[in-house]
């Protein structure tokens, strides 16, 4: 019985660590996405335009910021 409880606790610990790693990866990807939005588009005159190919040609204005629309 003690062995089963120990096994269950170990399994829960492994799941908790895996979930934490997944959340961290998602957070980093979101930060990278925000950075690419800033560097891939900019205002030229009164138009929001792509400066590099990472926007796939789709830019838009969000809260007075020029960002990729994807």
- The residues with which 67 forms a beta bridge, in sequence order, are 60
- Residue 10: what are its φ and ψ, rounded to 5°? -65, -40
Hey, where are the domains in the chain? 40-69
Measure the CA–CA gap between 70 and 63, rounded to whole angstroms: 16
pTM for the predicted model, two decimal places: 0.34
Summarised one tens digit per residue, pLDDT across range 10-58 is: 777 766 655 656 677 676 666 555 554 455 666 777 777 666 666 666 6
- Residue 63: what are its φ and ψ, rounded to 5°? 50, 45
Name the burial class of residue 32, with classes exposed (0-12), middle (13-18) and buried (19+) by CB atoms within 10 angstroms of its CB: exposed
- Residue 56: what are its φ and ψ, rounded to 5°? 55, 30
Question: What pLDDT sits at residue 64?
Answer: 65
DSSP 70: -
């Amino acid at each position: 019985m003690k062995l089963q409880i120990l096994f269950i606790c170990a399994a829960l610990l492994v799941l908790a660590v895996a979930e934490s790693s997944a959340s961290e990866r998602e957070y980093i990807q979101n930060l990278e996405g925000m950075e690419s939005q800033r560097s891939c588009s900019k205002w030229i005159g009164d138009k929001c335009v792509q400066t590099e190919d990472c926007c796939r040609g789709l830019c838009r204005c969000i809260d007075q910021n020029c960002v990729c629309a994807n």
